[in-house]
Amino acid sequence: MSIRRMSMSVAVTVLVMLTGCASTSAPVDQTLKVSDAMLAEARDMTDAERTNNAIMYRMGVAASTLCRDGSPQYRAPFALLVNNPTAKPEMRAALYAVIHADKLPVLQALAPSLAGYDGAEVAMLNGQNFDKPKKVAAALNQAVRANEDIVLRFADGRQVVTHAISGCPSAVMVNFFGKAGEPVDVGTTEVLPRTWSQLPASNDERAFILARSMYFTGGEGGAKLRNAALGGAVGNGILRAVTLNLSGAVIDLKTHVVRARRAGNRADADAFALRVMARAGFDPAAALTFARRSQEQGAAWPDDCAELRFDADRIEQMQAALRDVPRASL
């Protein structure tokens, strides 16, 4: 799955990133026979993304004051579900059967005011058609950041005017179609390995995993990762010059330092997640349950789940952080 570097200020990322949606893709073959297994997989993916979007919205609104820099932050009261144009034909047909989206995205209402439009195909956003997804993303980002009106026109002729609300703009998407790998930050959006969505045993545990992503995209961890990436990029440039651009002869310092910075901030991300969970009405103690289960089962988890494996020291740090969560928030 191609992931382009950009700043996303809304969950416009379900099943595929909006900016990666190719308008020239062939339409879904609705006559294609879809197996029960494929249909179940499509339903599981969609349910996971809808749940993730709803949880991130709830936590983003509750944790707006925890966003980096303390400056006003906004997020849209909806997400867009997009059928992945790069998926195999049978999977695209299965996704169509679940979300009824072909070339146009469908709306996931996150705020009660948009509940009547949930599942409707969105044809235009602030005057931009979805055959030009980059322009749609730019228009949406501009409206969200400036807290301006967002005009949605639906394929059935309806139209609604909504607007961004105060909240941490962090969003997540799950890499359902790409190779296994580590989390990838894309502006205010974090792309998580598919395996991560299969680990939580409850929505409280899922909220913990997602709130950790908020630390790296909306919290202070975001600035730390950006600084690490900048330093690594400079280091890469120096190494390329020294080795006459023989990139295969040197390590990728940017990847190395970002990975090291993320690992070094694991406990901070855990503590941040507990505060966010409490503010949003989730049970922070569920994080401790998840951490202890990782001690028992984590050895069998895939390699890309390493960040979610807890040792005794990290659990002890979490227990201390739990004691510091304001009781008024619980």
For the chain, give every domain's residue range: 13-171, 200-329
What is the pLDDT, as a whole number, of residue 173? 86
CA gap 311, 314 in Å, rounded: 5
In contact, 10 and 139? CB cutoff 8 Å? no
Give residue 26's pLDDT band: very low, low, confident or very high (50, 70, 90).
confident
Average pLDDT, the chain: 81
When pLDDT is averaged across residues 132-137 and rounded to a whole number, the result is 85
What is the pLDDT, as a whole number, of residue 259? 67
In contact, 164 and 147? CB cutoff 8 Å? yes
Burial pattern 241-273, b for ≥16 Cβ within 10 A else e, equals eeeeeeeeeeeebbeebbeebbeebbbbbbbbb
CA gap 156, 194 in Å, rounded: 34
Per DSSP, 26 falls in state P
Evaluate the CA torsion angle 225, 231, 233, 235 in order and state its sign: negative
Give residue 8's pLDDT band: very low, low, confident or very high (50, 70, 90).
very low
Give residue 231's pLDDT band: very low, low, confident or very high (50, 70, 90).
very low
What is the pLDDT, as a whole number, of residue 7? 36
In contact, 74 and 9? CB cutoff 8 Å? yes
Give residue 68's pLDDT band: very low, low, confident or very high (50, 70, 90).
low
Q: Please, which contacts does 141-150 make with residues 24 or more away whose CB atoms are closer than 8 Å? A: 141/7, 141/8, 141/9, 141/10, 143/76, 144/9, 144/10, 144/74, 144/75, 144/76, 144/169, 145/9, 145/74, 147/72, 147/74, 150/76, 150/125, 150/126
The most distant pair of C-alpha atoms in the chain lies apart, rounded to whole Å, by: 60
Give residue 252's pLDDT band: very low, low, confident or very high (50, 70, 90).
low
pLDDT at 174 over 90: no
Q: In this structure, how many other beta carbons lie within 10 angstroms of the beta carbon of residue 292?
A: 13
**DSSP string covering 174-230, please?**
EESSS-----EEETTEEEEEGGGGGS-SSHHHHHHHHHHHHHHHTSHHHHHHHHHHH
In three-state secondary structure terms, 140 is: helix
Q: For 288-316, write each residue's pLDDT tens digit.
A: 999 999 999 999 999 889 999 999 999 99
pLDDT at 36 over 80: yes
Per DSSP, 154 falls in state E
What is the pLDDT, as a whole number, of residue 11? 45
Percent above pLDDT 70 for the chain: 77
What is the pLDDT, as a whole number, of residue 223? 61
pLDDT at 186 over 90: no
Give the least confident one: 50-59, 161-170, 231-240, 275-284. Answer: 231-240
Work out the angle at residue 104's Cα, subtended by the Cα atoms of residues 35 and 80, and round it to the nearest 5 degrees: 90
The DSSP H or E segment spanning 160 is: strand 159-163
